[in-house]
């Protein structure tokens, strides 16, 4: 598993470091977590890693395209390592839980804007908002 991350880092010409491997592993196991959660997971493995190092790693991995940063309106930035498929997110208004929603494909793919105004489109960001099952259950049982 670790060697996959090493190959990913080498493929984008990033040096393989233990904090980078730890961040990639944390995001694989816990998609859509915020910076604080990444720091906690990395430091559970490597207590000497500083906050700044984790910030730097997240920025480097995001810039290199290995990690995607998402920031729903009103929420803190979250990170995930599922990249390159332009998938969308559904966010719970109540607890902030986030889940993946595959890109809508078929007759009208998301990247085909109904009117692109001459822009070259390379990304479509769609956020669905609602109430997650846990919150919906909590609401009806009170
Ligand atoms: Zn919820
Ligand atoms: Zn996602």
- Nearby residues of 125 by Cβ (< 8 Å), 6 or more positions away: 88
Distance from Cα 136 to the centre of ligand 1, integer Å: 7
CA–CA gap between residue 129 and residue 142 (Å, rounded)? 22
Residue % of the chain over a pLDDT of 90: 66
Instruction: Please state the rounded mean pLDDT for residues 64-83.
Output: 92
Q: How confident is the model at residue 123 (pLDDT cuts 50, 70, 90)?
A: confident
Model confidence, pTM: 0.83
User: Which ligand is nearest the CA of 101, by number?
Assistant: 2
Domains and CATH numbers, the chain: 2-70 (1.10.10.10), 85-140 (3.30.1490.190)
Binding-site residues for Zn(2+): 92, 95, 132, 135
Ligand nearest to the CA of 89: 2
pLDDT(129) > 60: yes
In this predicted structure, what is the pLDDT of residue 142?
62
Give per-residue pLDDT as tens, 31-48.
Answer: 999 999 999 999 999 999
**What is the 8-class DSSP label of residue 107?**
S
CA atoms of 7 and 49, how far apart (whole Å): 22
Taking alpha carbons only, the member of 44, 41, 45, 10 closest to residue 28 is 41
Please tell me whether residue 88 adopts helix, strand or coil conformation: strand
């Amino acid at each position: 598993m670790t060697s996959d991350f090493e190959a990913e880092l080498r493929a984008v010409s990033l040096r393989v470091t233990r904090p980078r491997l730890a961040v990639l592993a944390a995001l694989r196991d816990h998609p859509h977590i915020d910076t604080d959660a990444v720091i906690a997971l990395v430091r559970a493995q490597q207590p000497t890693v500083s906050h700044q190092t984790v910030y730097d790693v997240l920025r480097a991995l995001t810039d290199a395209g290995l990690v995607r940063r998402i920031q729903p309106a009103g929420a803190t930035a979250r990170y995930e390592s599922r990249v390159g498929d332009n998938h969308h997110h559904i966010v719970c208004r109540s607890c902030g839980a986030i889940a993946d929603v595959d890109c809508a494909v078929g007759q009208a793919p998301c990247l085909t804007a109904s009117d692109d105004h001459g822009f070259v489109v390379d990304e479509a960001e769609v956020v669905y908002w609602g109430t997650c099952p846990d919150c919906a259950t909590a609401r009806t049982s009170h």
